[in-house]
Structure 1
């Protein structure tokens, strides 16, 4: 979601959509939704259903844009194995996709095709720091944000390029029915003159998270990786627990002395400022397949700040589906993008439930891949959904406040305060620059991006004051 480009994409893409396209050789990009029979005829031969899988389909030329002559890439309507999350990836993580990605899908088991839905095209600014082992891995790829579409068995995709003439302008285009929310532009729009050249290796990733081991207790066996992930929270909950329970204020303060007493100052020992520990669904609770991630855990020095994000995956999900979304993000981050684990340290659904993200222990300073350039000495919290034009729920904002009051309190940080972080490099701050930031910041404070969406960003002041109150300040 790089705002440096995203702000130019919307108006440009709206113009692109208004331009007539040459008649496609396959299905018309703007034609009526295909019938089930037509989609079946266009389908590739699908392998047997393998739940908990990723399907990767290369995007092919469909037609040309009459105005620019640039190729429109995509997929003609086709039947596929069941999936519920999708995204587009490409080979070079440093390359930008100068275009508009749109999809429509068919519900599994029959039904009408959806309208066209926009996919947020800039996402890897959520990734690992430049030059880090994770960020420099050979398997890391560029990608769009993932889009949750629910159980589906048909898909059509088109990638509309931006011409140089169309590459200037303001906000993002309107999303189609059921699509991700349109994003407002980030600061310092510099999208003019965007190239119509697409990154190489563009392909559609279709994620089915439903076959991952949601309940390993059914077998009575935990893998070595699952045991290690659970053991990282052993000071907070029994091995194999699906949830870390909430604590009241007094028990939280006693736990703080157990966890970090040797590191606290005399003043902190006398009066620790920490919010009551909220309930947190563990990785075992949301069904993480621990065999997907890298085995080792990576830690940073401490947690001085929390960066708030949104997942830009759309808002049409039920809270009961949130574990499936988290499993889908996890699989997308690891298998499709090449990260070592899910990027966020925590996730929050719109009903206010909190989920453990990257493995290593929720009370520990686990290094994530969420705010490119500022993953050291910070934690990343993603609110599931798109909040460019839709307000986050009060339950989600309250959960962010409760989580930050506890997590930042473990490290003596005031949610209403400021702190200094050293940039690892990005489009706002050069590598090595010390930057003064809010202890609770939005993604856009460390990187020129629209994340976490304007509506959520405006709620961060409320989250700061509420978190400070929970800490007893």
Structure 2
């Protein structure tokens, strides 16, 4: 039965991909009735309201000698804000005018939980400076809206704040405190995972049954059903996803290794308009011809942008792609570990707003995120199966992907679920591009503080941010687990 169904899917996928979009979209209209679902409205429903806001407060000279920053240094030129009441927020960060200027110094904040009187201890905000962001020669990297920025810090629901900033050298101009309220997610994004998974499983079962029962139906309707079974990412190529949106769950389901491999020939091959030529590895490092068997790990479950409540109105429209994916850079978000996994969508919405509205990026910087419970989230928009150009590893965003683990892992060890999630995600995504997770990748530097622009650099296929830029990211404790992730990822691909 499995072989028969797989064969049918392959045939019908080929059929739908041969259709022009104008024909494929009407074909999707047959899907709801075939699945026994109610007909969708002819017009797309309005975008749900996603509350959320950012307060931007200019810093002032820190002139109160009773509040000296300490450390035995001269606090002349320090800036900050004394305790004050503000509208509710959950994440803080500091930005400044010149994105090329570095903030070398100490940034500390303390906050008051909403509705309470007690203030937190002082917390350090990581001044990661230029190490994250788009490559300089890209449209995003040269954007006029770009700001210099610290890492964001998750502090939870708060309505009071105090901040102090001391520089080891003159501070950048235009320092502002950003207080981000993530807002509440749309109602459909707050379903419990159990409810969502049950509904999705029911839909998948119904879809499979419908596919088997309708093999003698029209080619277009059958093709649409096949794509429904393959998941939202693949369906998008024929415009079917838009038609299925009113019925879809807010996550992309996991697929078995066999089903994942089956989709490979039908994935779109998107490229950036002027993608640079791929760097070639030295002759002695050239890998032998790939084996006939595709080494692709099973596709893990991925919570979509809709699932974590991304407001699609605030990012730039359209998508930008790179040529391929040769390496995965692992990061930590440096937002702290004081969140529950149930709060992870709020953390993501906060980082998203901070990246776009405070830092001036076109979208969320990372391609994927992983919370400390091992849940995987879609990051930058453009399709989880596509080579979306991110803004995660300055100088090496081209032909790579970025995975941010939510948290700070300089001194705290990442949970085992995090390492497993990174391994499963890379086994699938690197596998789509024929990459061995235990192998090497050669990338051309777009410019940074470790490698000059234009130089070809050898990386592990699963690398840490610090491998491409002088930074502590992804934290020593997470970095130390990347060897385990490489070994596990290769095993998930079916390699020995």
TM range (shorter): 0.7 to 0.9
- Tell me how far apart the structure 2 counterparts of residues 231 and 255 of structure 1 sit (CA, whole Å): 12
- Alignment of 1:210 onto 2:211: no
- Tell me how far apart the structure 1 counterparts of residues 291 and 494 of structure 2 sit (CA, whole Å): 14
Aligned to 2:16: none
Alignment partner of 2:441 out of 395, 419, 425: 419
1:210 Cα shift?
1.6
TM alignment of 1:324-363, pairs within 5 A: 324-363=346-385
Q: What secondary structure does 2:478 align onto? A: helix
Aligned to 1:192: none
- Alignment of 1:274 onto 2:296: yes
- Tell me how far apart the structure 1 counterparts of residues 51 and 160 of structure 2 sit (CA, whole Å): 16
**Preserved contact between residue 233 and residue 362 of structure 1 (Cα < 8 Å):** no
Structure 1, unaligned stretches of length 5 or more?
1-49, 163-194, 219-229
Number of residue pairs matched by the alignment: 378
1:216 Cα shift?
7.4
Aligned to 1:244: 252
Q: What secondary structure does 1:400 align onto? A: helix
Aligned to 1:463: 485
Aligned to 1:234: 235
Q: Which has the larger radius of gyration?
A: 2
1:80 Cα shift?
0.4
Inter-CA distance 373–261: structure 2 relative to 1 (3 Å threshold): closer
- Alignment of 1:371 onto 2:393: yes
**Preserved contact between residue 70 and residue 161 of structure 1 (Cα < 8 Å):** no
Structure number with the higher helix fraction is: 2
What do the CA deviations read for 1:142-184 (whole angstroms, capped 9, x no partner)? 011000000000000011232xxxxxxxxxxxxxxxxxxxxxx
1:213 Cα shift?
4.0
1:269 Cα shift?
8.0
**Preserved contact between residue 189 and residue 308 of structure 2 (Cα < 8 Å):** no
Q: What secondary structure does 1:388 align onto? A: coil
Aligned-residue CA RMSD (Å): 2.4
Q: What secondary structure does 2:78 align onto? A: strand
What do the CA deviations read for 1:70-115 (whole angstroms, capped 9, x no partner)? 2221011000000001100000011111221110000001141101
Alignment partner of 1:201 out of 164, 174, 190: 174
TM alignment of 1:293-308, pairs within 5 A: 293-308=315-330
- Tell me how far apart the structure 2 counterparts of residues 78 and 212 of structure 1 sit (CA, whole Å): 28
- Tell me how far apart the structure 2 counterparts of residues 216 and 387 of structure 1 sit (CA, whole Å): 28
Q: What secondary structure does 1:71 align onto? A: coil
Alignment partner of 2:144 out of 138, 141, 145: 138
- Alignment of 1:128 onto 2:134: yes
- Tell me how far apart the structure 2 counterparts of residues 348 and 268 of structure 1 sit (CA, whole Å): 30
- Tell me how far apart the structure 2 counterparts of residues 202 and 310 of structure 1 sit (CA, whole Å): 24
- Tell me how far apart the structure 1 counterparts of residues 98 and 187 of structure 2 sit (CA, whole Å): 33
